[in-house]
Amino acid sequence: MKAWLARPWFGPLVALVVVYLLFVWLSPDTFARSVNLSTMARQTVVVAIAAVGMTYVIIHGGIDLSVGSAVALTTVVIARVLERGSGPLVAVLAGVAVASLAGAINGLLVARLRITPFIVTLGTMGALRGAAKGLADEQKVDADPSGLDQLMSALSPSSPWLLPAGVWIALAVAGLAALALGYTVFGRHVVAIGSNVRTAELCGVPVARVTILVYALAGALAGLAGVMEFSTLTVGDPTDSIGLELAVIAAVVIGGGSLAGGQGSIAGAMVGAVLMTVIRTGCTHVGVPNWVQEILTGAIIVAAVGLERLRRRR
Amino acid sequence: METRRTFCAALTALAAGAWLPGCRDKAAPGPGGGAGRLRIAVIPKGTTHEFWKSVHAGAVKASRELDVDIVWKGPLKEDDLKSQIDLVQSFTAQRVSGIVLAPLNDKALVASVNGATRAQIPVVVFDSGLSGGEVVSFVATDNRAAGRLAGGRMVKLLEGKGRIVVLRYQEGSASTREREDGFLEAVKKGGLQVVSDNQYGGATTQTAFAASESVLLARGADKGEIDGVFCPNESTTFGMLLALEKAKLAGKLRFIGFDASDKLVAAVRSGDIDSLVLQDPFKMGHLAVKTLVDKLRGQAVEARIDTGASLADKGNLDAPEIAALLKPDLAPWLGK
């Protein structure tokens, strides 16, 4: 029991359960239905996948503000490639490749030019958004989704898979990333750099290479999140996901990630992502006006950061 | 120490939750409010623009007349496609009685709308159409008829003789294309000569202004070679107005625009714009909810319902029916 309590994701998990039960109590006829659970799972996928990458970046001691723009750019790239008549696999690979490249550029600028990640990704946030709009001729790009929409479609009730493919992919990605973070040299290096970059350097950690890899990984995962976003939208939308980066950062922070680096957990970030979906969906079910919902979500994020401070003080 | 952390997390969640019951009472009667009472989700494209407030007021009026509950919920971020899709899915999972939706995109919402219909939740679409999708009814301005209305007015203003420029809105925008086509149909029938109808204003006032300047120059407006101009939406109308003012041509040629804003109404008052075509968002919200409730109560409904359009000009700006469209009194419905 002690070991469970010590886990970084335990606090957020308790919060999630409490908030969930609260909405079940407020909206008993509708909120606990299984179809609502699978709908919420689907609606968490994009933030969850992006949060896996963001967890790495934040543990590494950085931040990535360009996630939302990278997701939008990916949807546009996929739509454009499909429009030319290529198959869905080619489109997905092209989308993920573009986002990974953007991530690698973030990493290069941070590692080589030694500009703070906040500034670098603030810049690429704008640049990628512009690129998405340019590639899309400043409008939504229609293309036949060629089966990609199935990744995130509701399944027929008789399907043995329970949840759409996108949810399983997100879970698999999170599982692999958590293992890599805990049990590989790369994962140890990321934590070491985030804890104390000078010490890590002295101990022979290849800081620049790991930095570039971390941002490229975050880019690739933003690309995968973009694939799921395209699957939901079925059009390439250059104005999509404005502000998504803030939801993703919030998920990581709620899950115990420290913006000072060195701390964070994939499981916690997943709990954080689900918590935000539960709040949003719950507010819809209960009929809370948008402005209250925004205040509420903001309050919960601040409360989560407050918790993180309390924990670090000890 | 661990227990303290857990306690804090629980406390936070509770504190956040404490907001909700109070808000719920004000926002809408809960789902448990009376057995069998219809609960209808109304999803606009956004919640802050004047247009959507009028739609909201109309929907509230219908809900009071028909004794049903409505849940008014727009995308959290104005005009955000993903949040609108999420909302349709959430309301479907919630099993509301029916959904009234103004889709942000004619294709992207089709899958979610069909999902709702499959779950036996009827959907009425308003304001903008869907390409395909199983819906009960489409409640919106008949844009072609509205365009013809503008065209007829232009023919009358120019007494059947003159050269016309149409500044189109944007490629791929179905509603404005129908307005343009309706206008062109009417002016050609009325004997006017169309000298330009292939220029597009684009998405913003800025792009519309640039396109207006070019087309006015290219067609020799300064030499009096254009007699009338038509623009199919608010941004093109405003862009054209700015271009005409800058070229000192405002008021010298006949100008009909579409939709209203404070600046456009002021221009009608000063004579720079001859007429504005006005839609009726209040009626749209009212009829969309009413149509859905009729359907849910087993009555036959029309597949296409026109909410009409009116012409505002200097003479009738203060007439009650036009003033109600320009500055609707929403207080009785929205309580502000």
Quickly list DSSP for A260-291. Answer: TSS---HHHHHHHHHHHHHHHHHHHHHT--HH
Query: In angstroms, rounded to a whole number, what is the distance separating the alpha carbons of residues A191 and A177?
Result: 13
Residue A300 forms contact with B (CB below 8 Å): yes
Are B179 and B134 in the same domain? no
Average pLDDT over residues B41-59: 90
- Domain end: B260, B278, B296, which one? B278
Query: In angstroms, rounded to a whole number, what is the distance separating the alpha carbons of residues A240 and A222?
Result: 13
Per-residue model confidence (pLDDT) at position A311: 64
Are B226 and B288 in the same domain? no
Q: B interface mutation test: which of A9, A13, A22 has the most B CBs within 10 A?
A: A22
| CB contact at 8 A, A309 and A53 | no
- Whether B86 shows a pLDDT value over 80: the answer reads yes
Any idea which of B97-106, B167-176, B227-236, B292-301 has the lowest mean pLDDT? Answer: B167-176
Q: Between chains, do B16 and A304 touch, taking CB under 8 Å as contact? A: no
Chain B partners of A290 at a C-beta cutoff of 8 Å?
Answer: 47, 73-74, 76
Smallest CA–CA separation between B10 and chain A, in Å? Answer: 5
In a domain, B104, yes or no: yes
Residue A115 forms contact with B (CB below 8 Å): no
Are B167 and B230 in the same domain? yes
In a domain, B336, yes or no: no
Q: Between B12, B90, B172, which is nearest A15 by CB?
A: B12
- Whether A11 shows a pLDDT value over 90: the answer reads no
Residue B108 forms contact with A (CB below 8 Å): yes
Read off the pLDDT of residues B141-193 as tens digits, 9 standing for 90 and up.
999 999 999 999 999 999 999 999 999 998 777 788 999 999 999 999 999 99
Q: Between chains, do A11 and B172 touch, taking CB under 8 Å as contact? A: no
Mean pLDDT of chain A, nearest integer: 91
In this prediction, residue A3 has a pLDDT band, given cuts at 50, 70 and 90, of: low
Greatest CA span in chain A, whole angstroms? 59
Read off the pLDDT of residues A244-258 as tens digits, 9 standing for 90 and up.
999 999 999 988 888
Chain B partners of A293 at a C-beta cutoff of 8 Å?
Answer: 76
Provide the residue range defining the domain that includes B128.
25-141+281-308
In this prediction, residue A102 has a pLDDT band, given cuts at 50, 70 and 90, of: very high
Are B243 and B151 in the same domain? yes
CATH classification at residue B211: 3.40.50.2300
Average pLDDT over residues A186-212: 95
Smallest CA–CA separation between A208 and chain B, in Å? Answer: 36
Q: Between chains, do B95 and A240 touch, taking CB under 8 Å as contact? A: no
Q: Between chains, do B89 and A42 touch, taking CB under 8 Å as contact? A: yes
Average pLDDT over residues B293-308: 95
Residue A184 forms contact with B (CB below 8 Å): no
Are B219 and B291 in the same domain? no
Which residues 83-102 on chain A approach chain B with CB closer than 8 angstroms?
Answer: none
Are B267 and B191 in the same domain? yes
Which residues 17-36 on chain A approach chain B with CB closer than 8 angstroms?
Answer: 18-19, 22, 26-31, 33, 35-36
Residue A211 forms contact with B (CB below 8 Å): no
In a domain, B62, yes or no: yes
Q: Between B9, B27, B93, which is nearest A14 by CB?
A: B9
**Structural domains of chain A, ranges and CATH numbers in brackets:** 9-313 (1.10.3470)
Are B158 and B236 in the same domain? yes
Q: Between chains, do B105 and A138 touch, taking CB under 8 Å as contact? A: no
In a domain, B192, yes or no: yes
Residue B52 forms contact with A (CB below 8 Å): no
Q: Between chains, do A234 and B28 touch, taking CB under 8 Å as contact? A: no
- Token digits for B132? 């395909």
In this prediction, residue A27 has a pLDDT band, given cuts at 50, 70 and 90, of: confident
Query: In angstroms, rounded to a whole number, what is the distance separating the alpha carbons of residues B239 and B246?
Result: 11
Query: In angstroms, rounded to a whole number, what is the distance separating the alpha carbons of residues A2 and B3?
Result: 10
- Whether B26 shows a pLDDT value over 70: the answer reads no
Q: Between A18, A154, A229, which is nearest B14 by CB?
A: A18
Which residues 136-165 on chain A approach chain B with CB closer than 8 angstroms?
Answer: 138-140, 142, 149, 153-154
Residue B203 forms contact with A (CB below 8 Å): yes
Helix, coil or strand: residue B109:
coil
- Token digits for A255? 């899950």
Query: In angstroms, rounded to a whole number, what is the distance separating the alpha carbons of residues B315 and B323?
Result: 12
Are B301 and B288 in the same domain? yes
Smallest CA–CA separation between A109 and chain B, in Å? Answer: 31
Residue B37 forms contact with A (CB below 8 Å): no
In a domain, B202, yes or no: yes
Q: Between A19, A26, A36, which is nearest B94 by CB?
A: A36
In a domain, B47, yes or no: yes
Q: Which of B112, B81, B228, B209 is nearest to B163 (CA)?
A: B228
Q: Between A15, A26, A243, which is nearest B24 by CB?
A: A26
Per-residue model confidence (pLDDT) at position B331: 87
Are B166 and B271 in the same domain? yes
- Domain end: B278, B297, B318, which one? B278
Nearest chain B Cα to A3, which residue?
B2
- Domain end: B278, B297, B328, which one? B278
Q: Which residues have a Cβ under 8 Å from the Cβ of B260 and sit 6 or more positions away?
A: B234, B276, B278, B312, B325, B326
Are B31 and B62 in the same domain? yes
Q: Between A30, A281, A288, which is nearest B20 by CB?
A: A288
Which residues 151-180 on chain B approach chain A with CB closer than 8 angstroms?
Answer: 170-172
Q: Which residues have a Cβ under 8 Å from the Cβ of A92 and sit 6 or more positions away?
A: A78, A148, A227
Smallest CA–CA separation between B86 and chain A, in Å? Answer: 7
Are B303 and B250 in the same domain? no
In a domain, B7, yes or no: no
Chain A partners of B23 at a C-beta cutoff of 8 Å?
Answer: 286, 288-289, 292
B77 vs A50: which has the higher pLDDT? A50
Q: At what angle do helices A88-112 and A117-135 cross, to 10 degrees?
A: 150
In a domain, B45, yes or no: yes
Q: Between chains, do B20 and A229 touch, taking CB under 8 Å as contact? A: no
Are B55 and B147 in the same domain? no
Smallest CA–CA separation between B74 and chain A, in Å? Answer: 8
Any idea which of A123-132, B8-17, B98-107, B208-217 has the lowest mean pLDDT? Answer: B8-17
- Whether B256 shows a pLDDT value over 90: the answer reads yes
Number of H helices, E strands in chain B: 13, 12
Residue B115 forms contact with A (CB below 8 Å): yes
Read off the pLDDT of residues A299-311 as tens digits, 9 standing for 90 and up.
887 886 677 667 6
Find the angle CA(B49)-CA(B51)-CA(B53) to the nearest 5 degrees: 75
Per-residue model confidence (pLDDT) at position B282: 94
Residue B266 forms contact with A (CB below 8 Å): no
Query: In angstroms, rounded to a whole number, what is the distance separating the alpha carbons of residues B156 and B161?
Result: 9
| Number of domains observed in the structure of chain B | 2
Q: Between chains, do B111 and A149 touch, taking CB under 8 Å as contact? A: yes
Q: Between chains, do A235 and B90 touch, taking CB under 8 Å as contact? A: no
